[in-house]
A and B are shown apart, each in its own frame.
Chain A
Amino acid sequence: MRVFSTTDTTVQSLIAEVQGSLQAIPTFLLYFHSSDFSAATVASALEQAFPGVPALGCSTAGELITGKMQDHSLVLAAFDAAQVADARVEAIEGLDIKQAFDKLSGGNAALDLGQYVGLILMDGLSGNEELLMDALGNCTDLTFVGGSAGDDLKFSKTDVVANGKTVAGAGALALLHVPGGFDLIKTQSFCTTGKTLVPSKVDRASRSVLEFDGKPALQAYAAALGVAPEQASTAFMTSPLGLMAGAEPFVRSPQRVEGDKLHFYCAVHEGVELALLQGTDIIADTEKALAASRYSALVVFNCILRTLDLKNQGKTAEFGSLFSAPTIGFSTYGEAFIGHINQTATILALR
């Protein structure tokens, strides 16, 4: 995997650099860009320069490239046949992710789970991530990892582009044949507190909780934290909730207060217990997660809330330096791994 970066929104200098650097036509192009860039301009330039090469990209809330986090840029990875022997990319038309997956897989249900891996990029403002991930999980056992496109915290419009075509409201999939194999890394920096909350009244459509354990949601959350309700929102970043799969949290992050309701960045289910989590060290936890895997290249989907936390702590340079292998990634509006999750980094680690 070769990685490239530019702040030139015409991307002409980037195209020239990529064309001049590669020895062969890439098997797959993956790119992430700030909302400073026109998705259509980028897609068109790549189509012209690399006709027929499968390409998947999206807008971001910050970018990650080997050794550093950055903003207002475009990062691109060009894969060769040794790493990605074959790639297919499909837009999700409407919300029919099964149709997109069937096209990708060619109806082959017996793909080697150790050599095929999927990527998913979704519209980060659509609110459709739970629906899409659920339907994808129904139709395949292949692993898909990815994230929700961002727009530099403007919350106006995100772009996902599949083979030059912009996809609105849903997203796009890629299916990669990686003969060398891969690992999936999921890391979030939280531990459990031993306290739990059970949503007893929810509005899934608006991703909000009206009541926990029969009490107004804000009051119950604040009581669990041991703070006054009016102070609860200051703890959102460090004390989200987690859906626990054994010891593994799938983080649900509170977004805002509306009266006694709590809105989240992803939907929760009525009656399913959530653990109150406590923040730990993002740098140390990510370093440990990376050390437990072996890889030659990384594709990173890092939650914007983690990025903001790192920025607040002045630790973006330290975080970026953890990614010394060839890396491409972006700051997401949500991460994808089995479901839609928050405050997590999901990472495809290619061996």
Chain B
Amino acid sequence: MAGQVHAVILKIIAARSNGNPALAQATSTKLLMKGIDPSKWNASSADDAAMLAKVKLAASEFGVSI
């Protein structure tokens, strides 16, 4: 599979920002602070199991259902 990490990142940002660009940027920076760099993942990125677990944990911490 590819792109799962990217998809979860997008879902977190969309859920937390509700279309507000400032909140989207803040959420992206919060992910960076958690050790997840959104700029390094895209739809064709190979899914790293450890990173997938990390983004799922971040979603849970943010209260975002995936």
A and B bound? yes
Chain A residues packing against B (C-beta within 8 Å): 113, 130, 133-134, 137-138, 141, 143, 243, 245-246, 248, 250, 269-273, 338-339
Whole-angstrom CA separation of A271 from B34 in the bound complex: 12
Contact A138 B61 (CB under 8 A): yes
Alpha-carbon separation in the docked complex, A243 to B36 (Å): 11
B27 cross-chain contacts in A, Cβ below 8 A: 141
Given A245-B28, A338-B26: A137 and B35 interface contact (C-beta under 8 Å): no
4 nearest A-B residue pairs (beta carbon): A269-B35, A339-B33, A245-B29, A138-B61
Whether B30 lies near A270 (C-beta < 8 A) is: no
Whether B61 pairs with A245 at a CB distance below 8 angstroms is no
What bracket does the count of chain B residues touching chain A fall in?
10 to 19
Residues of chain B lying within 8 A (CB to CB) of residue A243: 32-33
Instruction: List 8 A-B residue pairs with CB atoms under 8 Å apart, sorted by A's residue number.
Output: A134-B33, A137-B33, A141-B23, A245-B32, A269-B35, A272-B35, A273-B37, A338-B26
Q: Which of B28, B37, B39, B62 has the most CB of A within 10 A?
A: B37
Cβ of B11 within 8 Å of any chain A Cβ, yes or no, is no
Q: Give CA–CA (A270, B29) in the complex, Å.
A: 17
Minimal beta-carbon separation of A111 from chain B (angstroms): 13
B16 touches A141 (CB 8 A): yes
CA distance A250 to B30 in the complex (A): 11
Of listed A134, A138, A273, residue having the most chain B CB within 10 A:
A138
> Chain B: which residue is nearest A135 at the CB level?
B61
A250 to B37, Cβ gap below 8 A? Answer: no
Minimum CB–CB distance for A311 against chain B, Å: 30
Distance between Cα atoms of A49 and B30 in the complex (Å):
40
Q: Inside 8 A of A272's CB, which chain B residues have their CB?
A: 32, 35-37
Q: How far is the CB of A287 from the nearest CB of chain B, in Å?
A: 24
Query: Mask for B27-62, Cβ within 8 A of A = 1, else 0?
Result: 111101111110110000000000000000000011
In angstroms, Cα B33 to Cα A250, docked, is 9
Q: Chain A's nearest CB lies how many Å from the CB of B38?
A: 9
Please give, as numbers and ranges, the residues of chain A lying within 8 Å of B26 by CB-CB distance: 141, 143, 338
In the bound assembly, the distance between CA atoms of A338 and B34 in angstroms comes to 11
Q: Is the CB of B35 within 8 A of A270?
A: yes
**Which B residues touch A113, using CB under 8 A?**
23
Given A138-B62, A338-B29, A339-B29, 10 other A-B contacts at CB below 8 A?
A113-B23, A133-B33, A134-B33, A134-B34, A134-B61, A141-B26, A141-B27, A143-B26, A269-B34, A272-B32
Q: How far is the CB of A50 from chain B (nearest CB, A)?
A: 34
Which B residues are CB-close (under 8 A) to A339?
29-30, 33
What is the CA–CA distance of A270 and B63 in the complex, to the nearest angstrom?
25
User: What distance in Å separates the Cβ of B56 from its nearest Cβ neighbour in chain A?
Assistant: 14
With both beta carbons as reference points, the residue of chain B lying nearest to A136 in the complex is identified as: B30
Q: CA of A130 to CA of B33 in the docked complex: distance in angstroms?
A: 9
Q: How far is the CA of A264 from the CA of B27 in the complex (A)?
A: 24
Q: Shortest CB–CB separation between residue B60 and chain A, in angstroms?
A: 9
Q: How far is the CB of A144 from chain B (nearest CB, A)?
A: 11
